Structures are given as C-alpha cells and as structure tokens.
Amino acid sequence: MKKFVLAGMALALAASTGAAFAADPLTLQLKWVAQAQFAGYFVAKEKGFYDEAGLDVTIKPGGPDVAPAQVLAGGGADVIIDWMPSALAAREKGLPLVNIAQPFAKSGLMLTCRKETGIASPADFKGKTLGVWFSGNEYPFLSWMSKLGLKTDGGPEGVTVIKQGFNVDPLIQKQADCISTMTYNEYGQVLDAGLKPEDLVVFKYEEQGVATLEDGLYTLESTLKDPANVDRLARFVGASMKGWQYAGEHPDEAAEIVIDNDTTGAQTLEHQTFMMGEIAKLLGTSATLDTAAAENTVAVLLGGGSDPVITKKPEGAWTSAVTDAVK
C-alpha cells in the first residue's frame, strides 16, 4: 500500500512540476506572408529561443486579405507586426494599439525609376507617372509630394499616381516612370526582371526625410495592464531579437528556415537570401523604440497633404515598459 501511495505522490509531483514549467502561449500575426522580412521570428522558433524563454509561440502568416490590427482586435493574436502609419491610423479610429518594440530601425521604402525617363532628382517628378501602394502605405508618399509642392491629381504641375499592386509590373511594362519598392523585396524583383542597377534611379525615403517606422511590434493597451503579460511580452521580444541577431549572422540558414515555413510554395531560396541580406541593414542593435524616429513619423503623417492619415499627435501610442523588462 505504501508503494502505491508513494507512486501516486510521485505522479502528482511530476504533474505539478510540469504545470509549473508549462510554456506560456503567445500568438504573433505577421503583416505579410512568410518571407525573410520576418526571418528573426521564424529563426527564434526554429532554434529554440522561444522555448528557452518559456514561450510556446504560434506564428500566423498574413496576406492581402489579412488586416493584422483586426486580427488583434478580434483576439486572434497577442502581438502583431505593422507599420506605424497604419497603427496610428487605427489608434485614432479607436483601436488602442501600442508599439512595444521596434526591431526595424530604418525604413526600406523607396521609389525606383527608369533612368531613361530623364528623372535624376525629385525635381524631375513633375509630369511623371508614379506607382504607389495604398491601404495606408501611401501616406509617406503623399507627405513627400506635399513637401515638394507637387499635386497628385495628374495635372501638369503635379504627378499622375497609379494604384500599384504588390508587384513591379508597371515599371517593367513602362506603365509608370517610377514605382514603390522595398530595398529588400521589389527592388530585387526589378533586377530579376532584367533591369540593371545602372538602368535605374532610386530615391530612398530615409534620404528624403519622409521615412516612417516599419515592422514594429504592437499589442493592445488592455494587454499591458497585466504585469504577467508585460513579462511574457518582454521574454518574447528578447528571444525574437536573439532570432534576428542569429539571422543576420547566418543569412543563408535563415533563408532556408523561411523557406521551410513558406506555406505558399511561391518563395525561392535565392530571393529569400537576397532579402535577408538587405533586411539585416535595417535592423537596430536593440528593439527599443527611438522616440525621435517615432516623432518624425508622426510629423510626416500630419504633413501628408489635405487628407492626412492622422489629424493630431497621438498620446500613449508607444511604451518602453516591455523593452525595459527584457533581460
């Protein structure tokens, strides 16, 4: 009888120990499909960095029909990746998104033009046709045009704007003189299509003073009211940055991990390796938000012409509580 009692106690102890060390679940919603833009998170999961932090992380891919903010609002994720313009727009409309970390310190957005169009500087945009992404991504562009004094209604004293899909066809097919590209993605697609760097002129938003913050980590204000959640998020951010550091130091392996997580079958190892090399140039040394960069983003958005994405400076839109708790 004593043996049965001891065995029962051992099982109970094992069960309680297992419960005590059970990993905390956390769901991350990506802004787009699985690609090297999110390599740090896939690497952190693959290499066990989340396991070491006591986390059971689920990574949900995005896509053209996925709005990360809506997923978060509906309880489908604990954290989302989003650009600050769309996050601030959602906040002003009533969804209390808060930036808790900013792994990407620099913007990868740029305008890529055919040199044969005669465009050598922004002063040459007048009268040209420019491809622009919408759904919130157009606001840095509109602010830039406002800064240049160029209307976007297609008149002779301004530019003609075409709504660009997430491809480079308008430039390749000469439907536009310039298109929107990311340094780590569409620019590579332009090169893959046969154009050479010497055939192109690029204008980086960073260099034009109209860049906005991209790919930050956001959660809801209500989530941050629980210290246990702040601790969980801090562990997530710390492990994710370990993933980003590893990805930057091992770009080939990181690209392979991304390919392993691509459910679309559309990605190629060559392109993901290119992306990873370019992504590494945008990362900060930590995930702590540069408040000056955030304030600049706000200024850019407020200066976006007659229909700005936000109408007033936000309050409480970012916090250092999570990054301050990263060990």
- The per-residue DSSP string of 146-173 comes to HHHT-BSSS-TTB-EEEE--SSSHHHHT
13 within domain boundaries: no
One-letter amino acid of 157? E
The verdict on residue 183 lying in a domain is yes
pLDDT band at 287 (very low <50, low <70, confident <90, very high): very high
Residues 84 and 222 both lie in one domain: yes
Are residues 119 and 203 in contact, defined by beta-carbon separation less than 8 angstroms? no
Examine the domain organization and report whether 231 and 301 are in the same domain.
Answer: yes
9 falls within a domain? no
Other beta carbons less than 10 A from residue 308's beta carbon: 17
Residue 1 inside a domain? The answer is no
Q: What's the token pair of residue 215?
A: 């790919």
Residue 123's domain is classified under what CATH number? 3.40.190.10
Shared-domain flag, residues 225 and 84: yes
pLDDT for residue 307: 66
Contacts of 289 (CB under 8 A, 6+ apart): 99, 101, 102, 213, 216, 318, 320, 323
Sorting pLDDT into bands at 50, 70 and 90, what band is 13? Answer: very low
Residue 137: what pLDDT? 76
Q: How far apart are CA 12 and CA 6, in angstroms?
A: 10
224 & 265 share domain: yes
Token pair, residue 197, equals: 């760097």
Q: Show which of 184, 208, 232 is a domain's final residue.
A: 208
Q: Are residues 180 and 237 in the same domain?
A: no
Answer yes or no: is 14 within a domain.
no
Q: Helix H segments across the chain?
A: 2-20, 39-46, 49-52, 68-73, 84-92, 139-148, 169-172, 186-192, 205-208, 227-249, 251-260, 269-279, 291-302, 321-324
Residue-level pLDDT at 2:
39
Residue range(s) defining the domain that contains residue 217: 23-105+213-324
How would DSSP label each residue in 208-268?
A: HT-----SEEEEEGGGGGSHHHHHHHHHHHHHHHHHHHHHHH-HHHHHHHHHHT-SSS---
In this predicted structure, the answer to whether residue 9 has a pLDDT above a threshold of 70 is no
Query: Do 139 and 256 fall within a single domain?
Result: no
* 305 has pLDDT over 70: no
Nearest one of 142, 122, 129, 121 to 179, comparing CA atoms: 129
Q: What digits encode the pLDDT tens for the residues 136-194?
A: 678 789 888 988 989 998 888 899 999 998 899 999 999 999 999 999 999 999 999 99
- Please say which residue of 180, 208, 236 terminates a domain: 208
4 part of a folded domain = no
Q: How many structural domains is the chain composed of? A: 2
Query: Which of 47-56, 144-153, 242-251, 274-283 is predicted least confidently?
Result: 144-153
- Do residue 53 and residue 195 come from a single domain? no
